[in-house]
Chain A
Amino acid sequence: MKRYSVFAIAREALSHHQGWERAWKSPLPKASYDAVIIGAGGHGLATAYYLGKNHGIRNVAILEKGWLGGGNTGRNTTIIRSNYLQDPSAALYEKARSLYETLSQELNYNIMFSPRGLLMLAQTHHEVRGYLRTVHANNLQGVSTKWITPERVKQLVPIINIDGPRYPILGALYQARGGTARHDAVAWGYARACSDMGMDIIQQCEVTGVRSENGQVTGVETSKGYIGTKKLGIVVAGHSGQVADMAGFRLPVESMALQALVSEPIKPCMDVVVMANTVHGYMSQSDKGEMVIGGGTDGFNNYTQRGSFHHIEETLRALVETFPMISRLKMLRQWGGIVDMTGDRSPIISKTPLGNCFINCGWGTGGFKAIPGSGWAMADLMARGEPGPLAAEFDMWRFREGRFIDESVAAGVAH
């Protein structure tokens, strides 16, 4: 792999930039691998990357039914933060956030990480108490967040209206090193690094069945034929329940559509990320100048990457009170993704009833921020066969045993 650098640009300029190689290869699947990962989104690619980097397992295939990063990795609103309440979540999301800090350098690929600061607005007295509690918890967990006053919110976000009649701003939970990254670039950067380690990223290869013998996984049936494997990692989002079904077990997840929308580009007016959980809205401004607005989930389970329009309306109605100027904004596009949600709004990184088959799912409405940490923990689990400290609390049997990691508040989107 040719390293990207200023020298490389100068060198390639001499040959009119015709010499750049493809960022990743598109090989045909081999007959078998040491490990197969289903899903070439951010989490799947990160899992493969850390399998190779941290554990030396490089005979790996990543199977993708569509195209690389085309699921929720390419559909989210790219928010990165780690201001969660419970210890296991804070550890996992803070690991991810800290990996994001240096990911561009590590992958030699500019993921455009922008720690521009993130505000979670408190608009009811319950939220004030909840976020104050989160600040205290974060301080104990080593996550740097603080509580700020409405006046400070107004300083950080000049376009905000802090005295709305229904939802005044009573303060905010502020994470200065939260922010955004370029979602595609995260997938592309990991893909390039995986391909460089000799891993096979096989796109348009849909898994249709999971084969096992004596309770141990032996391989997967795909649209490109049978692929044998010693270990299987299921790292899909919306359709995790379906893939688990192929492997013969059930998941405590529900799949539903989550939507987002984007406006016309305008002059930069907001250089932080603002989340308003009471009203289910979050907004940031992209580098292209578009306002990116995230909405709520549908109230019913489905697999259509589309969503109900009234959720967009509800989100906008609430946001207009907080940001009066957006009423003048024109909305250009809206899209949806399928999120798989667990009962406690925390993910599953777990062994499964099938031997040597592992699953990483249930990230609900906020998986993007967790990608590096999730991949780190999942790779650890797959390599050693047992969860490490990051993943230990996130096994799928916690729902049977009542060990919930309740993050309904910190998950950001009311469900």
Chain B
Amino acid sequence: MTGQPAGHFTFDGKSVPLRPGQSLAAALTEAGLRSFRQTAKGATRGIFCGMGVCQDCLVTVNGAPNRRACMTPAVAGQDIRTQVPFPDLATAPNPQPAAPARVIAPDLLIVGGGAGGLSAAIAARRAGASVTILDERKVGGGQYFKQSAVSGPLDAQQSAGADLLAQALAAGAELIGEVEIWGAFDGLLFLAEHKGAALIARPRAAIIATGAYERPEIRPGWTLPGVMTTGAAQTLWRSYRTLPGKRVALVGSGPLNLQVGLELAQGGAEVVMIAERGPAPWLRPIAAAALALSGPALAWTGLRSLADLRKRGVPVRHGAALDRIDAAEGALRVTLMGDLSPVIADAVLMNAGFDPQNEILRLLGAEAIYDPAFGHLRITRDDTCATTVPGLYAVGDCAGLGGAPAAMAEGRIAGRAAAAALGFGDGYDTFADQRQLGRARRFQRHLWALHDVAPRLPDVPDDTLICRCEEIDAGQIRAGLGEKPGHAGTLKRATRVGMGRCQGRYCGPVAARLVAAATGTPVQDRSYFAPRVPIKPVAISAILAAEEALKDAP
């Protein structure tokens, strides 16, 4: 791995080395520690989403409970402890006195500093609008470009991200990292927490570019420590140069699994298996040819990855789906559907599609339509990526899956259009971007036709968890469905599914599909849990700090 230990922290009293820039989750994983917290029912959990969404990697940091290991930087001398389910808050230390609240009022606020958000920032800034980008991570670039926190760029993809980031900053956009938005209100008011202080944004217009989070394979064993999303493993490796384990298995469907499988193999992990739900591309030559024609360069990259994986002896099993994962003597035993013999791995990575991170958009009332092919909502937008809410734009995967090239084209279009609507620039000259966008979307259509990310109803045994946070299993959900709930919200109140820390981000779409299937109604935008403030768990001190600042603001 890169870099020398820069010190040590302790985990339950045991010394753990850290490298500069690493997150707690990365340093713990590198030390072979996978269980970070205990649940109320006595199970253990570790890193899962790796991007601050699932709230499963909680640890106690210097006595302060419930900190996400994936979002907390490792610092020498920290006292980290396994998170107990019911921490003693009465004796927990008071947080450091927060810095004064900050109120910003840029012309354009961009939420999310990834491919789409950065592109939008560059376009709007060049048109003359003042632009502030808020990002939840410390380092901008988003999930596609995944910038390294510990060293220079690893490859062309990270270099391209670094370039985009540099362009946005050079154009004069302000990027504020480590911002967690927990509330969005009409008239475009955003409330957030920034390093323990309140951050309030009152922009004239906003572009939401929050991306997507991964859809897991909900199968027996999917909550075991060591089972994580493919993106989480990619973050460990690309951002922190930490391998998720020595032996790695990947399951699900989509190009990300192949890419990450190859990256980890190149990084020195033993990739014991990549199971892809979709059939092999050579069994579907017409679809494969259509993909190659719609994006020859990207298709070529994909084909080269497959060849490289084969050369390295990584077994890629097409048409294979995960059956179950079991804990087996300090490792994980992965069994596929059908008659295949199980494999043993230290880490199992799963990605079976994506769900848009559209909470802010839905909270503000943006309309959306259900896309049955991908099993998620697509935000209703016009040609300029404007939503049905005045002054609110959506670009990239948060509006419906489209991939990074499409997000960048959308970002340029929306950035220019939003600036023009505020009186900066003319907003024209989008022809080239529209053409690129069309091409990118065409490629995406052909790409996903080769994979299998159609949403599934969880056909799992009764004791398999559906809701990770509240530990609600399939049996309880089935019992709840027996009462014929008319809405996912009804199922939520009957079973507590979706009432936990992740606010139903992983089980919510499942609940919506289950209720729709049980009632024989189509899934639509109102089928999901109603979005509510706070969209992320937020400390009461932060709510009050925001309120104080709002009162003082003119």
Contact = CB atoms under 8 A, between A and B. Distances in A.
Interface string B68-96: 00000000000000000111111010110
B499 interface: yes
A313 B483 contact: no
A335 interface: yes
Size category of the binding interface on chain B: 35 or more
A25 to B, nearest CB: 12
Nearest to A310: B547
Contacts, number: 108
Contacts of A264: 66, 501, 537
Contact of A204 (B89, B486, B499): B486
A268 B86 contact: yes
B540 interface: yes
A335 B532 contact: yes
B89 A269 contact: yes
Given A70-B490, A320-B544, A329-B539, A267 B185 contact: no
A333 B546 CA distance: 18
Contact of A288 (B40, B65, B483, B490): B40
A159 B89 CA distance: 10
Contacts of A204: 484, 486
Contacts of B526: none
Given A267-B86, A269-B88, A331 B540 contact: yes
A128 interface: no
B87 A267 contact: yes
B183 interface: yes
B89 A267 contact: yes
Query: Which of A159, A330, A334 gathers most chain B CB within 10 Å?
Result: A330
B185 to A, nearest CB: 7
A215 B519 CA distance: 39
B448 to A, nearest CB: 34
B507 to A, nearest CB: 14
A77 to B, nearest CB: 15
Interface string A191-220: 000000000000110000000000000000
B537 A267 contact: no
Interface in A27-83: 66-67, 70, 74
A398 interface: no
Size category of the binding interface on chain A: 35 or more
B89 A66 contact: no
Query: Which of B64, B88, B95, B539 gathers most chain A CB within 10 Å?
Result: B539
Interface in B15-37: none
A267 to B, nearest CB: 4
A74 B494 CA distance: 9
Interface string A306-350: 100110110011001000011111111111000000000000000
Contact of B540 (A288, A289, A327): A327
B537 A332 contact: yes
A327 B501 contact: no
A385 interface: no
A59 to B, nearest CB: 24
A330 B540 contact: yes
Given A313-B547, A333-B499, A333-B532, A328 B92 contact: yes
B157 interface: no
Interface in B88-114: 88-90, 92, 94-95
B541 interface: yes
B365 to A, nearest CB: 12
A326 B544 CA distance: 11
A67 B490 contact: yes
Interface in B528-551: 532-534, 537-541, 543-544, 546-547
The 10 closest A-B pairs by CB, nearest first: A327-B541, A313-B547, A267-B88, A330-B537, A266-B89, A267-B86, A269-B90, A289-B86, A316-B540, A67-B490
